[in-house]
């Protein structure tokens, strides 16, 4: 018994204190999967709960196994052909509720399609009319690609922006569809003046708005992110990133602009929402051929109140990875422990061509300090293989950044002029030890992640009676302890007083060490 307990402790310790940010060498070749084409679509909600990754290649849907190999059991000998008439591809979703795949496309003009497929490669003939398997979306005259997300209950949200009657005033919109493709008209919303004339600014002028992101707080509260143009008192055009918080049943959504603005049209925008429903916005400017990138982060709470973060309501991040080579971050994620991940490309002023020689992923502490325990002194670079001359390999771009639900693994996808890659990074400090089973009587936590109440379930519940327990944080400090005197105490443990983050639960006489995520 002591030997098994010691084994569990050793495994737990090694998981907690191993280096974060290393490539997972069990994935693909040395931690990444490479495609010898740039026509690869890696979209939001592409990661299945079992760790398989759905992606688009040309006119087909394909899937990778957990280890990065091609899943030949998927569809028809490993692929599903897209059947609808669309020629432009705008997204792929995997819906957990019905275990199907949804695609979004458009034709050469303004007709958009939504199609559903079964995992065996057949299309859902009940979707649409006359067995065609697709429906026409009630959106038209779109000036930017559709942005699609799925909620935990299977609802599908489609965001974008259009040009109303050729007026030059672009409006953001949000559409909601159920799993049968039926539009929920209560969520149809067009937001004009995003980031431009949010209040009563007399010089406000709406023009050139762009929708760039959709994030889901809950099935009834959605955040649409965009970039808009406004004119200051001297009639100089500036660009701002903005958010619209849309809540079901609320007539006037909350619209907020980032304090940061810039006269350059290369202002960037990306958002993510943490487990407290705090909205993190990454903005700033992308590099040009002569201008270094600027990385700015703003934060709002779920009600749209700006959170004091850094100097002047913003956190400015500058990371020089080599002499004259700076990080241009374009994607953001927030771990359960409050650390945040930024990813993008680097910009080297000394190079010719596009001057972007690497993909980069970095991690920062909650206060914006570079986390030197991640990768090599806080960041990891990756240069995609290129068969041309060295100066040609300066056109890197990031296409997506996503993570498993518990942030055990982080995925980054990107491309250069010739190839596309998906990289998988391990986060050992957040790795689950739930699989370390050294007895035949496993125990489980439900729900997990959890907000207030958890239930401890065992095959034989009587084994929990009169047993002491301890909840330990990732530093090894005991945060909560007690005794399970009866079934009710084991099935109704209150964790509301814990701060959000990662914890480990150890119970007397059980060798299992369970990970608990408090959100």
Q: What is the rounded CA–CA span in Å between residue 458 and residue 165?
A: 62
Q: What is the rounded CA–CA span in Å between residue 403 and residue 476?
A: 25
pLDDT at residue 6, rounded to an integer = 42
Q: Is the pLDDT of residue 8 over 50?
A: no
Q: How confident is the model at residue 142 (pLDDT cuts 50, 70, 90)?
A: low
Q: What is the rounded CA–CA span in Å between residue 34 and residue 28?
A: 8
Query: Which of the residue ranges 141-150, 288-297, 306-315, 498-507 would you say has the lowest mean pLDDT?
Result: 141-150
Sole residue written with tokens 């409006």: 171
Q: What is the rounded CA–CA span in Å between residue 246 and residue 169?
A: 21
Percentage of the chain beyond pLDDT 90 is: 31
pLDDT at residue 285, rounded to an integer = 92
Q: Which is more confident, 223 or 206?
A: 223
Q: Is the pLDDT of residue 261 over 70?
A: yes
Q: Is the pLDDT of residue 204 over 60?
A: no
The conformation of residue 463, written as its DSSP 8-state character, comes to G
Q: What is the rounded CA–CA span in Å between residue 182 and residue 156?
A: 10
**Are the beta carbons of 515 and 474 closer than 8 angstroms?**
no
Q: What is the rounded CA–CA span in Å between residue 340 and residue 363?
A: 6
pLDDT at residue 461, rounded to an integer = 78
Q: How confident is the model at residue 2 (pLDDT cuts 50, 70, 90)?
A: very low
pLDDT per position as a tens digit, 32-57: 999 999 999 998 888 988 889 999 99
**Are the beta carbons of 252 and 240 closer than 8 angstroms?**
no
Q: Residue 308: which of 317, 319, 292, 297 has the closest Cα?
A: 297
Q: Is the pLDDT of residue 192 over 60?
A: no
- SS3 sequence, 472-518? EECCCCEEEEEEECCHHHHHCEECCCCCCEEEEEEECCCCCEEEEEE
**Are the beta carbons of 68 and 456 closer than 8 angstroms?**
no
Segment 244-254 mean pLDDT: 83
Q: Is the pLDDT of residue 437 over 80?
A: no
pLDDT at residue 196, rounded to an integer = 39
**Residue 275 Cα distances to 247, 336, 505, angstroms:** 18, 7, 20
pLDDT at residue 199, rounded to an integer = 36
**Are the beta carbons of 127 and 113 closer than 8 angstroms?**
no
**Residue 473 Cα distances to 354, 406, 500, angstroms:** 45, 15, 11
Q: Is the pLDDT of residue 317 over 80?
A: yes
Q: What is the rounded CA–CA span in Å between residue 229 and residue 130?
A: 44
The three-class DSSP label of residue 401 is: strand
pLDDT at residue 27, rounded to an integer = 95
Q: Across-strand partners of 473?
A: 503
Q: What is the rounded CA–CA span in Å between residue 249 and residue 442?
A: 44
Q: Which is more confident, 464 or 319?
A: 319
Close Cβ partners of 52 (under 8 Å, ≥ 6 residues apart): 63, 64, 65, 66, 71
Q: Which is more confident, 478 or 373?
A: 373
pLDDT at residue 122, rounded to an integer = 85
Q: What is the rounded CA–CA span in Å between residue 217 and residue 302?
A: 8
**Are the beta carbons of 501 and 338 closer than 8 angstroms?**
yes
Q: Which is more confident, 98 or 407?
A: 407
**Residue 461 Cα distances to 4, 327, 436, 514, angstroms:** 22, 53, 20, 16
**Are the beta carbons of 505 and 448 closer than 8 angstroms?**
no
Q: Residue 57: which of 92, 29, 27 has the closest Cα?
A: 92
Q: Is the pLDDT of residue 211 over 90?
A: no
Determine how many CB atoms are found less than 10 A away from the CB of residue 273. 17
Q: How confident is the model at residue 10 (pLDDT cuts 50, 70, 90)?
A: very low
Q: Which is more confident, 442 or 373?
A: 373
Q: Is the pLDDT of residue 228 over 70?
A: yes
Segment 75-94 mean pLDDT: 83
pLDDT at residue 378, rounded to an integer = 95
Tokens at 499, concatenated: 């701060």
As a whole number of Å, the CA-based R_g of the chain is: 24
For every residue of 310-354, DSSP letters joined together read: SBTTBEEE--EEETTEEEEEEEEEE-TTS-EEEEEEEEETTSSTT
Q: What is the rounded CA–CA span in Å between residue 404 and residue 272?
A: 14
The whole-chain average pLDDT of the chain stands at: 82
pLDDT per position as a tens digit, 167-182: 555 667 788 888 778 8
Q: Is the pLDDT of residue 253 over 70?
A: yes
Tokens at 195, concatenated: 């980031």
Q: Which is more confident, 346 or 239?
A: 346
Q: How confident is the model at residue 15 (pLDDT cuts 50, 70, 90)?
A: very low
Rounded to a whole number of angstroms, the distance between the first and last alpha carbons of the chain is: 34
pLDDT at residue 191, rounded to an integer = 61
Domains of the chain, start order? 2-9+432-518 (2.60.40), 21-429 (2.130.10.10)
Close Cβ partners of 155 (under 8 Å, ≥ 6 residues apart): 176, 177, 178, 179, 184, 219
Q: Is the pLDDT of residue 200 over 60?
A: no
Q: How confident is the model at residue 434 (pLDDT cuts 50, 70, 90)?
A: very low
């Amino acid at each position: 018994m002591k030997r098994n307990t010691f084994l569990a402790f050793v495994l737990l310790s090694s998981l907690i204190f191993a280096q974060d940010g290393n490539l997972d060498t069990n994935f693909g070749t040395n931690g990444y999967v490479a495609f010898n084409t740039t026509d690869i679509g890696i979209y939001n909600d592409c990661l299945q709960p079992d760790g398989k990754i759905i992606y688009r290649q040309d006119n087909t849907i394909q899937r990778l196994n957990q280890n990065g190999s091609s899943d030949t059991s998927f569809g028809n000998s490993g692929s599903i052909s897209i059947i609808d008439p669309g020629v432009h591809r705008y997204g792929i979703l995997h819906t957990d509720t019905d275990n199907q795949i949804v695609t979004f496309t458009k034709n050469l003009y303004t007709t958009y399609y939504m199609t559903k497929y079964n995992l065996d490669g057949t299309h859902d003939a009940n979707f649409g009319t006359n067995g065609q398997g697709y429906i026409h979306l009630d959106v038209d005259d779109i000036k930017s690609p559709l942005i699609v997300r799925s909620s935990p209950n299977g609802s599908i949200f489609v965001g974008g922006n259009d040009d109303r009657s050729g007026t030059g005033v672009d409006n953001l919109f949000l559409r909601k569809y159920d799993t049968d493709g039926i539009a929920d008209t209560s969520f149809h919303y067009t937001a004009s003046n995003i980031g431009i004339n949010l209040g009563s600014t007399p010089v406000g002028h709406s023009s050139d708005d762009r929708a760039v992101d959709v994030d889901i707080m809950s099935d009834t509260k959605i955040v649409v992110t965009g970039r808009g143009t406004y004119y200051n008192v001297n009639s100089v055009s500036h660009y701002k990133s903005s958010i619209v918080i849309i809540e079901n049943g609320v007539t006037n959504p909350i619209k907020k602009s980032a304090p940061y603005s810039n006269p350059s049209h290369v202002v960037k925008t990306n958002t993510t929402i943490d487990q407290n429903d705090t909205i993190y916005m990454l903005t700033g400017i992308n590099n040009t051929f002569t201008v270094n990138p600027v990385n700015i982060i703003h934060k709002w709470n779920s009600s749209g109140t700006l959170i004091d973060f850094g100097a002047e309501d913003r956190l400015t991040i500058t990371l020089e990875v080599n002499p004259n080579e700076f990080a241009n971050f374009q994607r953001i994620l927030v771990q359960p422990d409050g650390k945040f991940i930024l990813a993008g490309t680097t910009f080297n002023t000394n190079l010719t061509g596009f001057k972007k020689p690497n993909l980069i992923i970095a991690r920062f502490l909650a206060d914006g300090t570079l986390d030197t325990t991640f990768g090599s002194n806080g960041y990891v670079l990756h240069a995609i293989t290129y068969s041309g001359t060295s100066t040609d390999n300066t056109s890197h771009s990031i296409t997506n950044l996503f993570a498993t639900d518990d942030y055990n693994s982080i995925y980054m996808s990107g491309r250069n002029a010739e190839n596309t890659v998906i990289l998988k990074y391990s986060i050992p400090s957040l790795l689950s030890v739930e699989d370390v089973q050294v007895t035949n009587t496993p125990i489980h936590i439900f729900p997990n992640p959890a907000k207030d109440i958890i239930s401890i379930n065992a095959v034989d519940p009587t084994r929990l009676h009169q047993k002491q327990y301890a909840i330990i944080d990732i530093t090894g400090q005991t945060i909560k302890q007690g005794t399970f005197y009866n079934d009710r105490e084991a099935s109704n443990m209150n964790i509301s007083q814990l701060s959000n983050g990662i914890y480990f639960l150890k119970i007397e006489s059980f060798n299992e060490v369970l990970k608990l995520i408090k959100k």
